[in-house]
Amino acid sequence: MPIDHVDSWSQFGLSGVIIAALFTFVWFLIKEHRAERQEWIVAYREQTKLSDDRQSETNDVIRELASVVRESHGRRHQRADD
């Protein structure tokens, strides 16, 4: 807990309790946000890796298609020359 000596806050009465509660609430929010942010980072990295893999596969397919088209185009010109 962020506040070790809650008893020392009792001298401030209700306002001390409210301040201690606010500190505790902010501490809890920061802790939860860090965990949530870590989940986002992991999910982002996984998604980026998946899209990189897909892009790589797509690039390979496009290269193969381009080579087939070039090869087909070259054959047509050879037939036309004959």
Q: Which helix (H) or strand (E) holds 46?
A: helix 13-81
Higher pLDDT, 24 or 17: 24
The C-alpha atoms of residue 40 and residue 37 are separated, in whole angstroms, by 5
pLDDT band at 72 (very low <50, low <70, confident <90, very high): confident
For the CA atoms of 42, 45, 50, 55, the dihedral, rounded to the nearest 10 degrees, stands at 170
Is residue 13 in a domain? Answer: yes
Is residue 15 in a domain? Answer: yes
Is residue 56 in a domain? Answer: yes
Asked if residue 12 has pLDDT above 80, the reply is no
Is residue 46 in a domain? Answer: yes
The pair of structure tokens assigned to 70 is 């070039």
Structural domains counted in the chain: 1
The C-alpha atoms of residue 58 and residue 50 are separated, in whole angstroms, by 12
pTM: 0.47
The pair of structure tokens assigned to 69 is 């088209």
Is residue 77 in a domain? Answer: yes
Q: Domain range holding 26?
A: 6-81
**Ramachandran region, residue 3 (left: φ > 0; alpha: ψ -120 to 50; beta: rest):** beta
pLDDT value of position 76: 74
pLDDT tens by residue, 24-69:
999 999 999 999 999 999 999 999 999 999 999 999 999 999 999 9
